[in-house]
Amino acid sequence: MKNGALHVANQAKYDEFYTQRSDIENELRHYKRHFRGKTVYCNCDDPRISNFFHYFSHNFDSLGLKKLVTTCYMSQCSDLFSQHDCERAIRLEYDGYRDGENVPKAEDIGISHLAGNGDFRSRECIDILKQADIVVTNPPFSLFREYVAQLVEHDKKFLVIGNMNAITYKEIFPLIRDNRLWLGRRPAGRDMLFDVPKAHVRELIETKKEGSAYRIVDGVVKRRLGNATWFTNLDHAKRQEEMILYKRYSPEEYPRYDNYAAINVNRLADIPADYDGAMGVPITFLDKYNPKQFEIIRFRKGDDDKDLSINGKCPYFRIIIRKKQSAT
């Protein structure tokens, strides 16, 4: 295989992991109120294998959905890595009609071929996006920046899986700071397991360590990603919870950065209750972030645009926050 082709193949392989139904159910149950009367679009999903499609079609009535649209990407390397051997990209539309059955039958679902390859950036997929209210999926991590930028550009509500590292992207952090995107309900940093195509299962077993790269659950090999997390702009109850602060500020315990006017806090539990200035906190703060209690000011860098440092040493990445005046 030539280098270019190999690169494309690796790229496709990297993006081919499928979300488990249980992870979708566990997250989605916190957002039910947002879905009534809404059109949901899953734009990176082959309905034949996507648990997002299964979840929404099975819960169509209980969520009170108006319409479900799914489009499937015709992978350039589908013969190599994808479980789905799409020869053509398809569009699937379901508006809830079920002939007395609990689960929609194939004939209740409108399936049509797309003219193009189903790329979420293609004109026809953007036209579907424009008609949708909420986008829910696990998009290709390798295109996450572009993927989110498109949702924001079209002013869509969304709930999508991404890599926690995305918070460090220059395109993503400003959205977090400005409360246009936040973490979902599931605590970040917990393992998420994904199904993978058969070819990738073989490769995992032959080249990787069980426990770190993959786990075997009921005899099925699942890809483990410690960094996968949900990103959304749908409100959820955890975002309204206030952190209880009990520590007292002292200059000895909370050193100041060399290159930014803020104190350093090493553990979330140590955020001082009586300090009103800027503080640098670990990125796990985003799991506890309530915009009524705190504001986010900046990420990682000091005034000199270098990593925040204390006496020349850099603590792990910090987010600079400040308590809101109204917060207790």
Ligand X SMILES: C[S@@+](CC[C@H](N)C(=O)[O-])C[C@H]1O[C@@H](n2cnc3c(N)ncnc32)[C@H](O)[C@@H]1O
x/- mask, ligand X, residues 74-113, rule CB under 6 A, reads: -x--------------------------------------
In the complex, minimum distance from the CB of residue 209 to ligand X, in angstroms, rounded to a whole number: 22
Based on the number of CB atoms within 10 Å of its own CB, is 100 exposed (0-12), middle (13-18) or buried (19 or more)? exposed
Reference 199, options 89, 71, 81; nearest CA is 81
**41 part of the interface to ligand X, by CB under 6 A:** no
Of the candidates 140, 162, 184, 302, which one interacts with ligand X according to CB under 6 A?
140
State which of positions 142-201 bind ligand X (CB under 6 A): 143
What are the φ and ψ backbone dihedral angles of 66, each rounded to 5 degrees?
-90, -45
In the complex, minimum distance from the CB of residue 224 to ligand X, in angstroms, rounded to a whole number: 14
In the complex, minimum distance from the CB of residue 304 to ligand X, in angstroms, rounded to a whole number: 38
How many residues form the binding site for ligand X (CB under 6 A)? 20
Q: In what order do the strands lie in the sheet containing 39-42?
A: 110-113, 90-94, 67-71, 39-42, 134-137, 157-163, 228-232, 182-183
Tell me whether residue 19 or residue 293 sits nearer to ligand X (CB atom). Answer: 19
Of the candidates 15, 67, 144, 272, which one interacts with ligand X according to CB under 6 A?
15
Beta bridge partners of 158: 135
In the complex, minimum distance from the CB of residue 117 to ligand X, in angstroms, rounded to a whole number: 8
64's tokens: 């009170």
In the complex, minimum distance from the CB of residue 58 to ligand X, in angstroms, rounded to a whole number: 15
Of the candidates 17, 56, 60, 285, which one interacts with ligand X according to CB under 6 A?
17
Of the candidates 40, 47, 50, 185, which one interacts with ligand X according to CB under 6 A?
50
Q: Please list, in sequence order, all residues whose beta carbon lies within 8 angstroms of the beta carbon of residue 127, skipping any fewer than 6 positions away.
A: none
Neighbours of 159 (CB within 10 A): 25
Of the candidates 39, 59, 138, 229, which one interacts with ligand X according to CB under 6 A?
138
**231 part of the interface to ligand X, by CB under 6 A:** no
Cα angle vertex 139, ends 69, 136, to 5°? 45
Q: Interface with ligand X by CB under 6 A: which range of 139-147, 215-223, 251-259, 318-326?
A: 139-147
How far apart CA 52 and CA 111 sit, in angstroms, is 17
Q: Interface with ligand X by CB under 6 A: which range of 12-20, 269-277, 283-291, 304-312?
A: 12-20
Amino acid in position 264: N
**229 part of the interface to ligand X, by CB under 6 A:** no
Of the candidates 39, 59, 137, 150, which one interacts with ligand X according to CB under 6 A?
137
Of the candidates 35, 55, 60, 119, which one interacts with ligand X according to CB under 6 A?
119
Q: How many residues does the chain have?
A: 328
**19 part of the interface to ligand X, by CB under 6 A:** yes
Cα angle vertex 15, ends 12, 16, to 5°? 85
**23 part of the interface to ligand X, by CB under 6 A:** no
**53 part of the interface to ligand X, by CB under 6 A:** no
* C-alpha 47, offset from chain centre: 20
Tell me whether residue 78 or residue 233 sits nearer to ligand X (CB atom). Answer: 78
What CA–CA distances, in Å, run from 210 to 5, 207, 222?
29, 10, 10
Tell me whether residue 192 or residue 278 sits nearer to ligand X (CB atom). Answer: 192
Q: Where are the beta strands (DSSP E) in 130-246?
A: 134-137, 157-163, 182-183, 192-195, 214-217, 220-225, 228-232
Q: How many CA atoms lie within 13 A of 63 on its CB side?
A: 24
The residues binding ligand X (CB under 6 A) are 15-19, 44-45, 50-52, 73, 75, 118-120, 137-140, 143
